[in-house]
Amino acid sequence: MRTYVSAVLLACSLAWFWNFASRLAIPAISPIIKQSFGYSTAEISLLISMLTLGIGLSYIPSGLAARRFGDRNVVFFAVSLTATALLASALTNNLYSTGLFFFLAGAGLGGYLPAGVSLLSSSHPTDVRGLVFGIHESAASLGMVMGPVAAGIILSRFDWRGPLLFLGLFGIIILPLLLRLTKSSSRTQQRLAGEDSVEAKNWGRRGIVLAAAAFMGVTAIDLGLVSIIPLYLTDVFRLDAVYVALVFGASRVFGMVTKIIAGIASDRFGRLPVILFTSVTSMTLGLAIATVASSAAIIALLFALTSVCAMFYPVIFAAVSDHAPRSNVSSHIGVVTALGSTTGAGVTPAIIGALAQGFGYRVGFIFPIVLGVVGFLSIILLRKDLALNSR
């Protein structure tokens, strides 16, 4: 069983690495696409929005599909859809067809998560899920760094179609590997069926909504506030845009380590202490960024903030898996990520931007911190159920 468990983790981590490499490579090549076709800023922004829209709209359908057709089948379909759409987008010559294929690529990227988390959950005992999700999420951090880097290297020799073709072919190549590494999933899941802790209490609708609110609170700071920091540093402190871009990408590196540390800590000490730590610390660091007047201090706080926020994701995924029936893990993950990401990562940057334009960046940064407070209060309401999972 140990060999198979490692194989499943390897397969899912590889897919998750490629997933986030694709997510960040596409925005990285958007300026080249804009120049090639003469698109306006609004038009190129629309293309990126189509990608993120596909991601956001796919979470819940993917979770429901995984319940009906199986986690492994949905993971395979999601990777196939993204790879095919990326290849097709590299062959387009107009805004509308490119937008359509970006939307389909996003649907595959987002569709992987609920099924992938459920597959990992059902293939690993409860007492190691924190570590498993920590390793899985660290692959995403590596993808965040490598995606734009790989795109830049390919763009040095090819046009904007090169990175898309490379990513699409990479997805096609890993499909047989995914099938091979996950072929024994049903047998392993049956062997683990009775091993979960009997103390874990399944969450109802209230618990899922509270978990989604907690997810919203951290993502509002991690993906909302953080996404505006490059603009803050260039507009207010007049730092060089290339330097800021390099700093912004490098700030995610330490998350590869902190995610694994968080997973191990949650397996040993329980999910609640780690989740509370990430929530409180992210709010504190976000508030510090909004108040300090030094660009060097903001950059240091940025590294600390992204490292701490990274710790949240493997632990919340483990917590939802702990408190959901095996057949409902994918649908619960889908709801939590859909509701949390839509508000936290989707709406927050636009609201920060509007507030910053009218009242200044520091006022704009208040909004994600308020959402962080809402997330913290939701964790407090969930504390009894989370405490049942203490080790």
pLDDT in tens, 364-373: 999 999 999 9
Same domain, 188 and 240: no
Q: Is 200 part of any domain?
A: no
* pLDDT, mean over the chain: 87
Asked if residue 391 has pLDDT above 50, the reply is: no
State whether 158 and 270 are in the same domain.
no
Which of 143, 140, 131, 193 has the alpha carbon at shortest distance from 167?
Answer: 143
| Domain shared by 160 and 14, yes or no | yes
Q: How many CA atoms lie within 13 A of 81 on its CB side?
A: 23
Under 8 Å between Cβ of 195 and 125 = yes
The reply to whether 235 falls in a domain is yes
Q: Which pLDDT value is given to residue 47?
A: 81
CA–CA dist 256, 143 (Å, integer): 10
The CATH number given to whatever domain includes residue 260 is: 1.20.1250.20
Report the alpha-carbon distance of residue 104 to residue 87 in Å, rounded: 11
Compute the distance between CA of residue 304 and CA of residue 152 in angstroms, rounded to an integer.
Answer: 26
Q: Could you report the per-residue pLDDT of 296-341, keeping only the tens digit for each?
A: 999 999 999 999 999 999 999 999 998 888 888 999 999 999 987 7
Residue 199, domain member (yes or no)? no
Are 223 and 81 in the same domain? no
Residues 82 and 142 in one domain: yes
pLDDT band for position 212 (cuts 50, 70, 90): very high
Confidence class for position 43, pLDDT limits 50, 70, 90: confident
For residue 1, the model assigns a pLDDT of 43
Nearest residue to 143 via CA among 155, 154, 153, 151: 151
Q: Are residues 21 and 136 in the same domain?
A: yes
Question: The whole model's pTM is what?
Answer: 0.86
The single-letter code of the amino acid at 41 is T
Q: Domain count of the chain?
A: 2
- Do 184 and 220 lie in a common domain? no
**pLDDT, position 197:** 44
Residues 221, 293, single domain; the answer is yes
- Is residue 198 one of the residues assigned to a domain? no
- Asked if residue 222 is part of any domain, the answer here is yes
pLDDT of residue 179: 87
176 falls within a domain: yes
Where in the sequence is the domain holding 117, given as residue range(s)? 2-192
Q: Which of 22-26, 162-166, 204-208 has the highest mean pLDDT?
A: 162-166
How would residue 11 be classed by pLDDT, with cut points 50, 70 and 90? very high
253 and 162 housed in the same domain: no
Query: What average pLDDT does this structure show over 250-276?
Result: 94
* Predicted confidence (pLDDT) at residue 216 exceeds the cutoff of 90: yes
Residues 268 and 134 in one domain: no
Is 260 in the same domain as 173? no
Model confidence at 277: pLDDT above 90: yes
Does 97 map to a domain?
yes
Mean pLDDT of 339-366: 84
Same domain, 263 and 172: no
Q: What is the 3-state secondary structure (H, E, C) of the chain?
A: CHHHHHHHHHHHHHHHHHHHHHHHHHHHHHHHHHHHHCCCHHHHHHHHHHHHHHHHHHHHHHHHHHHHHCHHHHHHHHHHHHHHHHHHHCCCCCHHHHHHHHHHHHHHHHHHHHHHHHHHHHCCCHHHHHHHHHHHHHHHHHHHHHHHHHHHHHHCCCCCHHHHHHHHHHHHHHHHHHHHHCCCHHHHHHHHCCCCCCCCCCCCHHHHHHHHHHHHHHHHHHHHHHHHHHHHHHHCCCCCHHHHHHHHHHCCCCHHHHHHHHHHHHHHHCHHHHHHHHHHHHHHHHHHHHHCCCHHHHHHHHHHHHHHHHCHHHHHHHHHHHCCCHHHHHHHHHHHHHHHHHHHHHHHHHHHHHHHHHHCHHHHCHHHHHHHHHHHHHHHHHHHHHHCCCC
Quote the pLDDT of residue 295. Answer: 96
Structure confidence at residue 228 as a pLDDT band (50, 70, 90) = confident
- Give mean pLDDT, residues 73-86: 97
Q: Model confidence at 4, in pLDDT bands (50, 70, 90)?
A: very low
Query: What is the structure's pLDDT at 330?
Result: 93
Stretch among 43-57, 99-113, 265-279 having the lowest mean pLDDT: 43-57
Reported as a single tens digit per residue, the pLDDT across 101-160 is 999 999 999 999 999 999 999 888 888 999 999 999 999 999 988 888 888 888 888 899
**Per-residue pLDDT, 242:** 66
pLDDT digits (tens, 9 = 90+) for 145-203: 888 888 888 888 889 999 999 999 999 999 998 888 777 555 555 455 455 444 456 77
CB atoms within 10 A of CB 329: 27
Say yes or no to pLDDT of 16 above 80.
yes
Residue 260 belongs to a domain: yes
b/e 232-253 (16+ beta carbons within 10 angstroms → b): bbeeeeebeeeebeebbbebbe
